[in-house]
Amino acid sequence: MTRWAGLFRLWKGTPSIALLGAVGLLIAGVALTVWQEQTYRAQKSREIAVQAQILAASVTAAVVFDDNRTAQDYLNALAVNPELEAAAVYDEAGNLFAGFSRPDALPPAGRVTARESSVEGGRLHMLQPVIQNGVSVGVVYLRAVTESLAQRILRYAAIMLLAVMAALLVAVLASAHRTLTRANAALEKQAEDLAETNRRLHAEIEEREKAEDALRHSQKMEAIGQLSGGVAHDFNNLLTIIKGNLQLLQRRMIQGRTDVQRYVDSAMEGLNRAAVLTQRLLAFSRRQPLSPQPVNLSRLVANMQELLRHSVGDKVEIACQLDAEWWTLCDPNQMENVILNLAINARDAMSGGGKVFIQTSDIQLENAATAYEDIMKGDYVRLSVRDTGSGMPEEVLNKAIDPFFTTKPLGQGTGLGLSVSFGYIRQSNGYLNIESEVGKGTTITILMPRHALAIPLAQDKMTAS
């Protein structure tokens, strides 16, 4: 983080550094131009001076012996240098001895007046004495055109252009840096915000988990309360029956009567019912040993149709469509209990009467269907129990499988029926699914894995027929 902060500070400093750099570049460009200009002038000056010296040495004899024709020849030879605009040789009195000038240039003066070389109006006036035997016998004059200012500016324009472009580039980079810096800062802030949000989310999740734990705990307590209530009530009823019968039995025995069999039977029945209740509780806690065997669900349902009709009463009609032919492996008694349970639940959901459809079929699950998301693909036997009852709202549906959850009044249901059924089906490697719509009814679907090894299909069919 500190590293980033340091980098950030560096970024922040960059624009001013870049600006300084750009200004520096411009100054350097100007300095370079000025320096080049001076160098150029000095070089031109030297070049012309050398030419003047050569000319002076060449024309010495011509000046001494007053031969302006020869001097003229030497001067004419200089005309090949395009920079030279005019040239002249003056005698020791300063009078023009010989000279030439280009057509469009000023002719050299008739007398030499200047003493020293000079630069004037873009022209270099070079004077060089003609020395003979240590004595000045005349002066050589050269007038050279230095490049015009426009030409030189044009020549330096490239340099300046480069400098300006470099400066611009630096400026653009600097502005880009600044933008990037801002963007970075914004990003960093966003990241921090995100981290903060994440922290809050985590805290909320934790709180929610705590709340859920608490809720679960309270639900458990409620369930235990319901269980205790239900079980106590049931047992109390049974105990009342047993106690009553035993009291009657005792009175009869004191009276010495022997017609006591029905009291004993009643007490025994109460005990049996208590035993069944215990059995169910054990099944719920999954401590009940199961004795699985190959079962054909169609046949199972067919065999218990009479029982189902008695259980649901006259107001409710039962319709069966039993197409399943495959076998499955389960405890048939428990399966009967499950089906009976579902039928009774269906009946209870239809207080005004209705219809219960019981269907069995064989299905092959190739792909996980939406309704059975977590189911392995394979062959299954399906059993569904559908009613045309009141259906369940969402919150009830969500808790339908919970143990001890019941919508029935106290004493009528233990809240264990569906829960025990679910436990048993899962124990038998099957699946149980509930679909419900308020006002239309509920469908409970059970999928049991096909028991392929049991009996060959042909034999199965034979047996079935």
Distance CA 297, CA 286 (A): 22
Q: Which residue's CB is nearer to other proteins, number 57 or number 455?
A: 57
Q: How far apart are the C-alpha atoms of 205 and 61, rounded to whole Å?
A: 113
- What the block records as the tokens of 441 is 């009814």
Q: Which is nearer to other proteins, 67 or 147 (CB)?
A: 67
Of 370, 299, 386, 389, residue with least CA distance to 335: 299
Residue 70 CB, nearest distance to other proteins (Å)?
A: 5
The alpha carbon dihedral of 202, 206, 209, 215 has a sign of negative
As measured in angstroms, the least distance from the Cβ of 127 to other proteins is: 17
Q: Does 54 bind other proteins (CB under 8 A)?
A: no
Nearer to other proteins, 137 or 344 (CB): 137
Q: Report the half-sphere exposure of 7 (CA within 13 A, side-chain side).
A: 9
* Choice from 98, 301, 346, 420 touching other proteins (CB under 8 A): 98
The DSSP output letter for 407 is S
> With respect to other proteins, which residue has the nearer C-beta, 7 or 79?
79
Half-sphere exposure of 78 (CA within 13 A, CB side): 32
Q: Is residue 76 near other proteins by the rule CB under 8 A?
A: yes
| Closest approach of other proteins to the CB of residue 19, in Å | 57
CB of 106 to other proteins, least distance (A): 11
Taking the least distance from each CB to other proteins, the nearer of 88 and 316 is 88
Regarding 64 and contact with other proteins (CB under 8 A), the answer is yes
70 binds other proteins (CB under 8 A): yes
**Contact flag: residue 72 with other proteins (CB under 8 A):** yes
97 interacts with other proteins by CB under 8 A: yes
- Asked if residue 77 binds other proteins (CB under 8 A), the reply is no
CB 115 → other proteins: shortest distance, Å? 19
- Cβ of 80: how many Cβ atoms within 10 Å? 7
* Dist CA 143 CA 84 (whole Å): 6
- Residue nearer to other proteins on the CB measure, 92 or 435: 92
Residue 81 interacting with other proteins (CB under 8 A): no
CA-based nearest residue to 333, from 290, 273, 296: 290
Per CB under 8 A, 85 contacts other proteins: no
Q: Give the torsion through C-alpha atoms of 206, 210, 215, 217, to 10 deg.
A: 140
- Residue type (1 letter), 321: Q
Region near other proteins per CB under 8 A, out of 67-75, 154-162, 309-317, 337-345: 67-75
CA-nearest of 79, 87, 134 to 108 is 87
**Closest separation in Å from C-beta 44 to other proteins:** 22
Alpha-carbon torsion, ordered 361, 366, 372, 378, to 10 deg: 70
Residue 439 interacting with other proteins (CB under 8 A)? no
Report if residue 113 touches other proteins, rule: CB under 8 A.
no
Nearest to 47 by CA among 77, 89, 78: 78
Does position 429 bind other proteins by CB under 8 A?
Answer: no
| Closest distance to other proteins from the beta carbon of 64 (Å) | 5
Site string for other proteins, 121-150 (x = CB under 8 A): -----------xxx--x-------------
Nearer to other proteins by Cβ, of 52 and 416: the residue is: 52
Answer for which of 22, 62, 295, 392 binds other proteins (CB under 8 A) is 62
- Distance between CA atoms of residues 140 and 160, nearest Å: 39
The residues, any chain, with a CB within 8 Å of residue 425's CB and separated by 6 or more, are 338, 431, 432, 446, 448
Question: Which stretch, 89-97, 140-148, 375-383, 401-409, contacts other proteins (CB under 8 A)?
Answer: 89-97
Among 79, 180, 253, 319, binds other proteins (CB under 8 A): 79
Tokens standing for 427? 């124990």
Q: Which residue's CB is nearer to other proteins, number 98 or number 356?
A: 98
Q: Going edge to edge, which strands form the sheet with 84-91?
A: 96-101, 84-91, 135-145, 123-132, 118-120
CB 380 within 8 A of CB 451: no
Q: Is 101 in the site for other proteins (CB under 8 A)?
A: yes
Positions that interact with other proteins (CB under 8 A)? 58, 60-62, 64-70, 72, 75-76, 79, 88, 90-93, 95-103, 107-108, 110, 132-134, 137
